[in-house]
A and B are shown apart, each in its own frame.
Chain A
Amino acid sequence: MTQSLIPPKAKEMIGAETPLGGPLEVEKGAVLKLAQALQDSNPLYADENAAKRSKHGKLMVPVTFFDYNVPSGDEREITWQIPLTLKNRVRGKDEIELLQPIYVGDTIKAKSKVLDMSEKEGKTGKFVVIVAETEYQNQHGVVVMRHRITSIRR
Chain B
Amino acid sequence: MNHEQMYFEDVKEGLELPGFTFGPVTTKDLIRWACARGNYHQIHYDKDIAMKEGNPDVLVHGPLKFGLMDRMIRDWIGEHGQLKKISCSYRAVDVPGNVLTVNGKVVTKSIEEAEGHVQCELWVENQKGELTTKGTAVVTLPMRGKNN
* Bound form: Cα–Cα A34–B38 in Å: 10
* A38 pairs with B38, CB closer than 8 A: no
Number of interface residues of B (CB under 8 A): 33
**Chain A, interface size: which category?**
20 to 34
A91 at the interface (CB under 8 A from B): yes
* B32 pairs with A36, CB closer than 8 A: yes
Contact for A43 among B1, B37, B87, B148, CB less than 8 A: B1
* A40 pairs with B71, CB closer than 8 A: yes
Kindly identify, within residues 98 to 143 of chain B, every residue whose CB is under 8 Å from any CB belonging to chain A: none
Q: CB-defined interface of B11-32 with A at 8 Å, one 1/0 digit per residue?
A: 0000000000010000001001
A38-B71, A64-B63, A68-B39 are known contacts. Are A92 and B89 too (CB-CB below 8 A)? yes
Kindly identify, within residues 44 to 84 of chain B, every residue whose CB is under 8 Å from any CB belonging to chain A: 53, 62-64, 66-68, 70-71, 74-75, 79-80, 82-84
Closest A residue to B30 by CB, please name it: A37
* A91 pairs with B1, CB closer than 8 A: no
User: B86: which A residues are within 8 A, CB to CB?
Assistant: 63, 95-96, 98
* B74 pairs with A37, CB closer than 8 A: no
Contact for B67 among A64, A88, A92, A95, CB less than 8 A: A64
Closest A residue to B88 by CB, please name it: A94
* Bound form: Cα–Cα A55–B148 in Å: 9
Q: CB-defined interface of A80-98 with B at 8 Å, one 1/0 digit per residue?
A: 0000000010111111111
Closest B residue to A70 by CB, please name it: B38
B146 at the interface (CB under 8 A from A): no
User: B29: which A residues are within 8 A, CB to CB?
Assistant: 37
* A42 pairs with B1, CB closer than 8 A: yes
A91-B90, A93-B87, A96-B87 are known contacts. Are A55 and B80 too (CB-CB below 8 A)? yes
* Bound form: Cα–Cα A107–B92 in Å: 35
A56 at the interface (CB under 8 A from B): yes
Q: Closest Cβ of chain A: how far from B25's Cβ, in Å?
A: 11
A2 at the interface (CB under 8 A from B): no
6 pairs, CB–CB < 8 Å, chain A vs chain B: A42-B1, A44-B74, A62-B71, A97-B85, A101-B82, A150-B89
Question: Which residues does A use to contact B, with CB under 8 Å?
Answer: 30, 33-34, 36-44, 54-56, 62-65, 67-69, 88, 90-98, 101, 150
Question: Which residues does B use to contact A, with CB under 8 Å?
Answer: 1, 22, 29, 32-33, 35-39, 53, 62-64, 66-68, 70-71, 74-75, 79-80, 82-90, 148
Known: A33-B35, A63-B70, A64-B66. 5 other contacts (CB 8 A): A38-B64, A42-B74, A67-B63, A95-B86, A98-B86
